[in-house]
Structure 1
Amino acid sequence: MVTGLVKRRAAVAGEMKAAQALLASLAKDLETLDAAIKLVAPDLDIPAIAPKMVRPPDDWSRRGEMSRVVLSIMRVANKPLTSREIAAQMIVQRGLASTPKLLNLMSRRIAGCLRDKRDKGLVRNVETRGGQYLEWEIAR
């Protein structure tokens, strides 16, 4: 147990050191931008410029998460699915508010993911039942 705690402490300390280096770099960049602004607009009140908070939307996926969820949905399906059907299941799994805009957005993201997986030989298109969407299944 002690070995695991020591390893975790070392990892956290390393992350803190990297974060401090990033913070120092950002502070230097901010000073450079402030100096450039003073050259161009010396009367501008720089401290009055509010920082912009950047937060990814709730429907955003972390690296690899989209692929894992899409493939897991396809594995348990008993029939080929369209990207729209997969998107609908993903929205329910994530507990997001289902709107037509979100469904269309997720369908496009999933279609891109599926095309990438098709190029790698993991999934394939099957003959469609009719309609405008391709149907997908796990390649066997």
Structure 2
Amino acid sequence: MAQSIVVSGLVSKRAELVGRLEHYAQEVDRLDAELRHLDATIKLFAPEMDLRTLPPKRFVETNRIFRQGESNRCMLEVLREAGGKLNTQQIAQRIAKKKNLDEAKVKAVRDTILDTLRRAEKKGVVRQSGKEGMALLWQLV
């Protein structure tokens, strides 16, 4: 019976991945059609332009973990509760735990919190207080 539970889980995961692939294939088709229309419009206004020489703009996926201003509030709350120094990873892990996020999201939380900490440092709200290995230590001012 244990094998059927394992197989059932694997089949479910496979179905999820196939669904995601189909979704993204449709998105690729939509973007491709949009790009062809845009290229045709550009050619109307600038027929001499070689569109192949235009470099693509880097795509950065936004994370939807925090609402506007929430990362700052969470970061300040964690530092207040700690009452001392914490490194960026510790802050991110505590926030992820409070928000009931899985381990896979901790890196995205850490990246967002690092940006938040740097902005707060410029405003004089927090300051770097050394390093712990490669990790920066932070504390409230």
TM-score by length of 1: 0.54
Q: What residue is the counterpart of 1:80 in the other structure?
A: 85
2:107 aligns with 104
Contact 2:87 2:137 in 1 (8 A): yes
Matched residues, percent identical? 26
- What is the correspondence of 1:1-140 to structure 2 with a 5 Å cutoff? 59=65, 61-99=66-104, 102-128=105-131, 130-139=132-141
Deviation at 1:68, TM superposition (A): 0.4
Give RMSD over aligned pairs: 2.0
What is the number of equivalent residue pairs in this alignment? Answer: 83
- Separation (CA, whole Å) in 2 of partners of 1:118 and 1:58: 23
Unaligned residue ranges in structure 2 (runs of 5+):
1-36, 41-61
Q: Deviations over 1:5-30 (max 9, x none)?
A: xxxxxxxxxxxxxxxxxxxxxxxxxx
Query: CA–CA distance in 1 between the matches of 2:93 and 2:73?
Result: 16
| C-alpha distance in structure 2 between counterparts of 1:112 and 1:58, whole Å | 15
TM-score, structure 2 normalization? 0.53
Instruction: Please state whether the residue corresponding to 1:63 is helix, strand or coil.
Output: coil
- Structure 1 stretches of 4+ with a deviation exceeding 4 A read none
CA deviation string 1:66-99 (max 9, x = no partner): 1001001101103201111011001110111122
